[in-house]
Amino acid sequence: MLAEELIAKFRIDEGQKVKLRDYDTGWKVSDEIAYFQKEEVKNKAKDILEKNREDLARGQSLLWANNTYSLLVIIQGMDTAGKDSLIKHVMSGVNPQGCRVSSFDVPSKEELDHDYFWRCNLKLPKRGEIGIFNRSYYEEVLITKVHPEILEGRHLPQKEFHDEFWKMRYEDINSYERHLSNSGTVVLKFFLHISKEKQKERLLARFENESKYWKISPSDIAERKFWDNYIKAYEDMLNNTSTKSAPWYIVPADYKWVARTIVSDIIASKLISLHDSYPAVSEETLEKIKKAADMLKNE
């Protein structure tokens, strides 16, 4: 596992104010790591990722057996930040019966007729389960903040979307996540921090590969014009909604193997920390198990 001091570099503490320009998007995530060659770090990361997959499988088994907590993982990031591939690689070792991935695209008419938590509420993990949100209710303080005209057609009671409106939304999100935490849902939130240059590189790679044409949307290119606006929206989100019970982690995403290692490590560490053993069996139940085993042996 990664050292706690290194993990702390990615975690945003409650009340902490961040500027994303101060956070590296590459592989040199600390002075200690930057000392080594890139290939050395990459090989070590591969070993850590594999060990994390084993810990994730064990942690998930304990989570399911104890049936006390659930785990909600929220992943946000710019287009091409690697959200889909991260989920695929990091969660490849878990039992799909106890893990559900939910993606949230443009809201439907029915979803818009409810509050913006509604559609996410329907996908929350049950006790003993892991739920992964690929995008989430946070889109309502990201894309709508960059494009407030979206809100104008939603028949909201508010007609102006100034600072007080966004402050209210941040407070609502914090209250919602506090409620989840108090109810036994552990919330981990990851912002995949990609550079504008790396996004351009990945977008161009899609144009050069016919098998990836389906991933191309004209809006992806158009939205690059609003890059600085999105960075500001993400900073506001991180600064206002990272709490002790539901912290944000800023994960460098220019190199997918870096992001996968960091995210898998944090999830595995949290899962393992929730339970250190399987549920105890009562003496009465144990006696029944022994009798059943004896009957089976004597068939």
pLDDT, tens digit (0-9, with 9 covering 90-100), for 196-205: 999 999 999 8
Q: Under the phi-then-psi rule, with left for phi > 0, alpha for psi from -120 to 50, and beta for the rest, what region is 80?
A: left
Which is more confidently placed, 164 or 44?
Answer: 164
Pick from 7-16, 73-82, 154-163, 285-294: least confident: 285-294
In Å, the largest CA–CA distance within the chain is 77
pLDDT tens digits, 140-172: 999 999 999 999 888 899 988 999 999 999 999
Pick from 44-48, 57-61, 165-169, 174-178: least confident: 44-48
